[in-house]
């Protein structure tokens, strides 16, 4: 194929979406302007597309302008941040951070409001509303997403702050927090649904693939079939690197998917006798497990909720609290103080490793629900997730 024909093929392929925008160049150059920003403001660009954020550019502003160049392996979600020294004792302070989809092309960035106005704006407002980006087709996709979902994102921020404020105000009063837990759960579920809908209606978008990876990173959030469907939907994306990236994320997600048989492990009873957890799981009945410890304040605060489940679903739900205390004496003391009427078990130091790895337990409390067939159907740190599942499935 001669050079002219090759060029014509490339242009046609790009127009049809066969060639991804990332292939249009080997590097990107971002030129930006933000009115009213002070000289010597530090501007950084961090690639947050993967599990580990990576700094890819930093410059200092001059007359409101900034410019930097580098490259990305594929169209990637990045954070464009602006920092200034507001107090010499604390050094640089980040005042503004905006999301931007970066690809290897010439990209122009500007803001429609002066810098101070954006910084002082309502913290719940998605600040990308004040941002104009040209030269990045993948950012155009992100802008389309914001047109549909920015309001839902803002609702999640508002309710999240109210939830935190009420938690501090009431010192985590269970009746009050149950109301705010439900509000937060519904808001977050609404955002997740809106994102899934956007992905489904725009399967070829790079931004949809980015959202898919973020969803796949959530442990025990989806069944194996749901994970496979999410990965397959990204096959419509024209960027091979992005498709491969999503496939790898899908493989990792399958290790912690819902619907798989629960992982068995040994656990001690109050007499120090070790038995497999499977001996406590009754076929034909739901099993709830609460991993906790005497030294864990959130765990102790959740005990009234566990008690409520024990009473509300008596005869329908087996309830077990499994302590992760290293010392049996600490466990014994806490059981005496809390007066927990349901079955109490403990992982001794030699038993902790296996269930921690299998259920990805990095923090406690960790709440697990096993269905009558012995399948894992919920694994979470939020009691509201257990409540919703039982309300919908255990009458």
Cα–Cα nearest to 319, from 327, 309, 329, 328: 309
37, pLDDT greater than 80: yes
Tokens of 176: 């009050």
7, pLDDT greater than 80: no
Q: What is the mean pLDDT of residues 5-26?
A: 45
CB contact at 8 A, 31 and 65: yes
pLDDT class of 24 with cuts at 50, 70, 90: low
Q: What is the mean pLDDT of residues 246-263?
A: 95
Please give the helix or strand (H or E) that residue 113 lies within, else none.
none
Bridging pattern class, strands 376-380 and 131-134: unpaired
CB contact at 8 A, 136 and 102: yes
CB contact at 8 A, 101 and 74: no
CB contact at 8 A, 116 and 36: yes
pLDDT class of 11 with cuts at 50, 70, 90: very low
Tokens of 86: 């507001």
pTM of the model: 0.85
Q: What is the mean pLDDT of residues 209-228?
A: 95
Least confident of 163-177, 259-273, 326-340: 163-177
Cα–Cα nearest to 254, from 369, 97, 360: 360
| 282-315 tens-digit pLDDT | 999 999 999 999 999 989 988 999 999 999 999 9
pLDDT attached to residue 20: 45
DSSP state of 65: E
pLDDT attached to residue 365: 95
Cα–Cα nearest to 142, from 48, 19, 252: 48
| 75-125 tens-digit pLDDT | 999 999 999 987 666 678 889 999 999 999 999 999 999 999 999 887 788
Cα–Cα nearest to 136, from 200, 47, 46, 206: 206
**What share of the chain has pLDDT > 90, as a percent?**
83
Q: Which residue has the tokens 């969803």?
A: 215
CA angle 392/394/395 to nearest 5° reads 90
DSSP track, 346-375: E--TTTSHHHHHHTT-SSS-EEEEE-TTSB
For the chain, give the mean pLDDT.
90
Tokens of 288: 């709830």
Domain architecture of the chain: domains with CATH: 20-135 (2.60.40.10), 142-254 (no CATH), 266-393 (3.40.30.10)
Beta strands in 103-214 (DSSP E): 106-111, 131-134
| 326-382 tens-digit pLDDT | 999 999 999 999 999 999 999 999 999 999 999 999 999 999 999 999 999 999 999
pLDDT attached to residue 22: 39
pLDDT attached to residue 190: 95
Q: What is the mean pLDDT of residues 168-176?
A: 86
pLDDT attached to residue 186: 95
DSSP track, 28-55: EEEEEE-TTPPTT-EEEEEE-SSSS-EE
pLDDT attached to residue 162: 93
DSSP state of 221: S
4, pLDDT greater than 80: no
Q: What is the 3-state secondary structure (H, E, C) of 153-165?
A: HHHHHHHHHHHHH
At residue 158, φ and ψ (nearest 5 deg) are: -65, -50
Tokens of 40: 């010597």
Bridging pattern class, strands 91-102 and 366-370: unpaired
pLDDT class of 3 with cuts at 50, 70, 90: very low
Q: Name every residue whose Cβ is closer than 8 Å to that of residue 266 and which is 6 or more positions away in sequence.
A: 274, 275, 276, 277, 351, 354
How are the residues of the chain apportioned to helix, strand and coil, as percentages rounded to the nearest 5?
A: 45, 25, 30
């Amino acid at each position: 194929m001669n050079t002219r024909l090759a060029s014509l093929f490339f242009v046609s392929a790009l127009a049809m979406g066969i060639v991804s925008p990332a292939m249009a160049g080997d590097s990107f150059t971002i030129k930006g302007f933000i009115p009213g920003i002070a000289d010597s403001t530090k501007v950084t660009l961090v690639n947050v597309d993967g599990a580990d954020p990576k700094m890819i550019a930093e410059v200092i502003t001059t007359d409101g302008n900034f410019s930097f160049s580098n490259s990305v392996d594929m169209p990637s979600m990045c954070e464009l941040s602006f920092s200034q020294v507001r107090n010499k004792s604390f050094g640089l302070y980040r005042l503004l951070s905006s999301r931007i989809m970066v690809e290897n092309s010439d990209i122009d960035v500007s803001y429609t409001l002066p810098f101070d106005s954006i910084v002082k704006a309502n913290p719940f407002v998605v600040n990308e509303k004040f941002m104009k980006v040209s030269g990045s087709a993948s950012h155009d996709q992100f802008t389309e997403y914001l047109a549909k979902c920015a309001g839902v994102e803002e609702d999640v921020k508002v309710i999240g702050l109210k939830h935190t404020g009420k938690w501090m105000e009431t010192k985590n009063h269970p009746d009050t927090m149950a109301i705010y837990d439900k509000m937060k759960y519904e808001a977050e579920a609404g955002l997740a649904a809106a994102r899934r809908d956007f992905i489904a209606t725009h399967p070829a978008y790079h931004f949809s693939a980015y959202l898919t990876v973020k969803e796949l990173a959530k442990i025990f959030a989806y069944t194996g079939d749901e994970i496979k469907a999410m990965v397959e939907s990204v096959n419509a994306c024209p960027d091979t690197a992005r498709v491969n990236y999503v496939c790898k994320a899908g493989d990792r997600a399958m290790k912690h998917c819902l619907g798989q048989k629960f992982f068995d492990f040994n656990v001690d009873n109050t007499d120090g006798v070790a038995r497999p957890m499977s001996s406590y799981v009754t076929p034909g009945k739901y099993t709830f497990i609460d991993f906790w410890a005497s030294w864990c304040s959130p765990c102790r605060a959740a005990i009234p909720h566990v008690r409520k489940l024990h009473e509300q679903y008596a005869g329908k739900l087996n309830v077990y609290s499994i302590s992760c205390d290293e010392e049996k004496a600490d466990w014994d003391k806490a059981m005496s103080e809390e007066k927990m009427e349901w079955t109490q078990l403990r992982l001794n130091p030699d038993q902790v490793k296996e269930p921690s790895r299998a259920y990805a337990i990095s923090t406690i409390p960790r709440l697990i629900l096993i269905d009558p067939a012995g399948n894992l159907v919920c694994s979470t740190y939020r009691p509201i997730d257990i409540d919703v599942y039982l309300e919908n499935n255990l009458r």
